[in-house]
Amino acid sequence: MGKDKNIAWCPGCGNFGILSAIDRAIDELNIDRKNTVIVSGIGQAAKLPHYTEINYFNGLHGRSIPVATGIKATKPELNVIVTSGDGCVYGEGGNHFIHGIRRNPDITCIVHNNMVYGLTKGQASPTSQIGFRTPIQVGGVFEEPFNAISIAISLNAPFVARCFSGDIDKTKEIIKIAIKTKGFSFIEILQPCVTFNKLNTYEWFREHTYYLDEGYNPEDIKKAFEIAIDKEKFALGIIYVNRKRKTFEENLSSIGVKYPVIKQSIEYKKILNLFKKV
């Protein structure tokens, strides 16, 4: 646990389970923490890196994916993990979520989905269920919940999974696979907010989720979509895998980027040639 024991999460918060799953995944994979960076945005979920021992960039609301992309592209030997909430990644940063998957940096993107805004005290999030009442959405939410899993599949994300924070062991195992998978590995972790979401409780999630069968083939995109669009029951496990895409860093290399780029020296002769060429 981190130096700062003064944790800002409520007792019983799903974030504890996610933190524990991430920490254990990193340790069990024997990943060097010195070469690992957690990037987060704003929200209660985004405070996670403060509570472990790791490099981190805790930036702005919604902007964790582009920051993570810049880090990975500049120093690909770093392991880069994004952790932030549904409001941060799907709401404020929705555009980066879409284009991040298109760009496909080799990062792991963990989205804590508690279907509510916690830090701002209980407003609707992009994933709040229709009818969910809040101090702002007084008549209940009427917007269609954001279906990140099906969007990720439609963009051919290399790895798409859903977990439940109440099951730390299985979550940890899926995080381990995600970290090892090349490209944009996306995990949505369903997580109760014990203070502001009285609808989507631990019990509710247990009733509304199920694990995919052992025999499920995540490379079957049609089946993956079918599972992703189910609004009644949320599938847990690895929903979709696509091994065909090159990562952002691989694409950069193939257009001529040579690593390391840090502190490279410049040939002045080449610059003088520029003056002749222009």
Partner 1 sequence: MKELSILITGPAGSGIQTIENLLCRIFKEMGLHTFATKEYMSRVRGGANTTTIRISEERVDAFSERIDILLSLDRNGIDRIQYRIGEDTLIFGDVGKNRNRNFEIDFVKIAEKIGNKIYANTVAVGFILGIIQKGKEIGEEIISGIFNNKGQEILDKNIDALSEGYLTGIRLANSINFNFTIKESEEVKKESFFNGAVAIGIGSIIGGCNFVSSYPMTPSTPVFSFLAQNAKDFNIIVEQAEDEIAAINMVLGSLYAGGRGFVTTSGGGFALMVESLSLAGMTESPIVLHLAQRPGPATGLPTRTEQSDLLFALFAGHGEFPRIILSPGDLYEGIFLTANAFNLADRYQIPVIILSDQYFIDSYYNIPVPEIANFNIEYAFSINTDRDYKRYQLTDDGISIRGIPGGDGFVCVDSDEHNEEGHITEDREITRLMVEKRNRKLKTFIDSKTFIDSKIIRPSFYGSSDYEILLISWGSTKNTVIEAVKPLNNIGYLSLPIVYPLPDIKDYIKKSKKTIIIENNYTSQLAKLIRMETGIEIKEKILKYDGHPFSVEEIQKELGEKI
Instruction: List residues binding partner 1 (CB under 8 A).
Output: 2-4, 8, 33-37, 39, 42, 47, 49-50, 53-60, 63, 65-75, 77-78, 95-96, 98-99, 103, 248, 252, 255-258, 261-266, 268, 270-272, 274-276, 278
DSSP per-residue codes, 89-158: IIIITHHHHHHHHHH--S-EEEEEE-SS-TTTTS---TTPPTT---SSSTT---SPPP-HHHHHHHTT-S
- State how far the Cα of 67 lies from the Cα of 246, in Å rounded to an integer: 20
Min dist. Cβ of residue 2 to partner 1 (A): 8
The phi, psi pair for 263, rounded to 5°, reads: 55, 35
Token representation of residue 126 = 């992009």
Nearest distance, CB of residue 141 and partner 1, angstroms:
26
> Residue 8 is encoded by which pair of tokens?
């800002």
Q: Which is nearer to partner 1, 101 or 236 (CB)?
A: 101
CB of 132 or CB of 184, closer to partner 1: 184
- Kind plus residue range of the DSSP H or E element containing 263: none
Establish whether the linkage from the previous residue to 66 is cis, with ω within 30° of 0.
no
The CB-of-266 to partner 1 minimum distance in angstroms stands at 6
C-beta of 245: minimal distance to partner 1 in Å? 16
**5-41 burial code (b ≥16 CB/10 A, e <16):** eebebeeebbbbbbbbbbbbbbeebebeeeebbbbbb
Q: Which is nearer to partner 1, 67 or 148 (CB)?
A: 67
| Cβ distance to partner 1 smaller for residue 138 or 274 | 274
Nearest distance in Å: CB 27, partner 1? 16
Closest to partner 1 by CB, 138 or 266 = 266
DSSP 83: E
Shorter beta-carbon distance to partner 1: residue 88 or 174 = 88
Between the alpha carbon of residue 94 and those of residues 66, 90, 152, 237, 266, the distances in Å are 11, 4, 12, 23, 38
Query: Cβ of residue 104: shortest distance to partner 1, in angstroms?
Result: 12
Within 8 A by CB and 6+ apart from 271, the residues are: none
Closer CB to partner 1, 91 or 192, in the complex = 91
State in angstroms the smallest separation of the CB of 105 from partner 1: 10
Place of tokens 């991430």: 22
